[in-house]
Structure 1
């Protein structure tokens, strides 16, 4: 790369803080490479608050040692690290066993140096790495994202500054460890978790289910959690997506979601009475998206005639619901009756969007049914399978 003279390098006239902000959007290897552009750039990369080692694949020992040396040199070049992103895939199991202890050391280092945003993925071919326990006592951490790890061996969690938590493909010992993790995040605002599994299927006691409180939480996405999650802990959210079959049990009490305006529900075989019961507990709901699956992927699994219009109309239908989305629509009688029920009672509904299979003909069923809202549009979108 040829050198650029100071007279021609207009970007170099920008303040250091602006240049470092620009460099923070690059992978760290690219950021370091800018040091040869001109004298103005030689040391700027050292002040970039973001270290980004993303999409790294290590397939031989030479590449492994070269990468390790690079990371250590970058870490030791600065005292303050605001963001640390690491995504490593080890092609060789021996390299993984050799390299993961180093990754743990890097994470420990940034935790000790005031990291605020941490994003981790460590991929291997024959085992699942353990979650670095040092993270769970990081007082500066604001955003934590991790994937593909085992969470075991921790007894206490103190994440007093954490506002956003996202994780998936995580294996816990039991559901209590999941609740312990969340309980250690007192100001958590945004939670996204999916594809969680547990070594033990022990059920929680009533006291354990009632003890979790996430009062600051405004957004929650619990897709494919494979556990019964305490719904009461989510009652202050404004945006919520859950797989209702996994999270909810028939004996559970559904709390009132007074702040909830945007709801997504995924269900295996629509349970109509449950759906209406959920709507009754969301008095201010404005947007709802309902998606369904079947027990083994066949249409025959879906009950057709189990719908009867409830006597009680939920408040959200009467006063607030503006958008209703019905996804994976199969055209079963129960689905059509539910859609008609929404149209007949949603007074301020603006749009009903239905995503169905390509050959499904339901226009006549819905376009001419009674509508409480004079401005509602029914949009049917065919989706090729």
Structure 2
């Protein structure tokens, strides 16, 4: 029987490095024992992917040494395109006297100096550690995903001229104003996601302070408005908008006309029909609308009343009669206000192709 051809060995190094970039760095390093050709190949992989859960000091020291050995062994001329770190520990006493954030900050600074384009950081602890400051001025950064960090009030000016995608989940700011200053440092941002962004101070913004602020290149926004009065005027250029909202934080004075909006999804509208009508009025090109009444609200299924009477509007939003094609009403309980809304949508949307009134558990 003829010897089977080793197809993988015939591939150029660039393709092999691309294949290795889909593995965790620990697995990529393990390939160095395969042959002389593979011995140093992992050092050219442009993606660094570190993931660990620390349970004791020895494990932390081993992981720390491993990351440093990989970083310092690389050729300084080779760029690091992606740095992914998922570091979890449950007790600071496990790592005492070590401070993991001091070390992680050094790692982030290292990759930032080597032209990193994608950073994904998650540090799972009992508290929100401070975000590495070097991220804020990384001129090559295109995608930034942050989970479970705090951004101090005294943070340096944000200069992220290349950033196009920003994902903030479980992030603590001192004030809402600090979040807006953060966004203001991302001039070409195209995609924004926020979830559970928290603030130490309840101070809110005023219209006058931010009436001219706008993320002009933003095309897609997915925003959690449970924690703050997010000024929707800042995202009025988007074509796709997903809002997780609460009636308490629905502020009409922060809404501007969404000239480009074609897709809108509202999660947990909480029977805020006036807010809905206002948004529809200011979305003249809307083509797809989805309203999910449940969202993350645990008390949703126990509701007995709309708690707000539906009032037929004295105007018909332009999008309803000209552009809207799809309307999905999800997790509606069939209460009076909901049925009146469904009827109003059905009667006024001339070219609508799909209406769904769903009750899902």
Residue 172 of structure 2 corresponds to which residue in structure 1?
A: 171
2:14 — aligned with what? Answer: 17
1:50 equivalent in alignment to 2:50: no
C-alpha displacement at 1:120, in angstroms?
0.3
The separation in 1 between residues aligned to 2:148 and 2:35, in whole angstroms, is 41
Once the two structures are superposed, what CA deviation does each residue of 1:98-129 show, in whole Å capped at 9, x if it has no partner? 2221111111111111111000011123x221
Aligned residues: 349
For residues 14-70 of structure 1, the C-alpha deviation after alignment (integer angstroms, 9 at most, x for no partner) is 11111111111110011111111222222211110000013x101112211111111
TM-score (norm 2): 0.91
Counterpart CA distance in 2 for 1:225 and 1:158 is 28
Any idea what SS the aligned residue of 1:40 has?
coil
Any idea what SS the aligned residue of 2:328 has? Answer: strand
Is 2:27 the partner of 1:26? no
Quick one: structure 1 residues 81 and 91, their matched pair in 2 at CA, closer, same or farther if it must change by over 3 Å?
A: same
Aligned CA-pair RMSD: 1.9
Gaps of 5+ in 1: 1-5, 357-382
Q: 1:61 aligns with which of 34, 57, 62?
A: 57
State the match for 1:86 in structure 2.
Answer: 85
Query: Compared with structure 1, are the counterparts of its residues 12 and 67 closer, same or farther at alpha carbon in structure 2 (3 Å cutoff)?
Result: same
**Residues 252-291 of structure 1: per-residue CA shift (max 9 Å, x gap):** 0531111101101134521222212211111111111112
Alignment of 1:257-272 (within 5 A): 257-272=258-273
Residues 328-364 of structure 1, C-alpha deviation per residue, up to 9 Å, x if partnerless?
21110110111111111112211112221xxxxxxxx
2:111 and 2:255 map into 1 onto residues whose CA distance is 41
Query: 1:103 and 1:29 mapped to 2: Cα distance?
Result: 17
Q: Quote the offset at 1:322 in angstroms.
A: 1.4
Secondary structure of the corresponding residue to residue 256 of structure 2: coil
The TM-score with structure 1 as length reference comes to 0.86
- Unpaired segments ≥5 residues, structure 2: none
User: Which moves more between the two structures, 192-201 or 318-327?
Assistant: 318-327
Q: Whole-Å Cα distance in 2 between the matches of residues 117 and 246 of structure 1? A: 36
> Is the counterpart of residue 300 in structure 1 residue 296 in structure 2?
no
Q: What is the Cα deviation at residue 96 of structure 1? A: 4.7
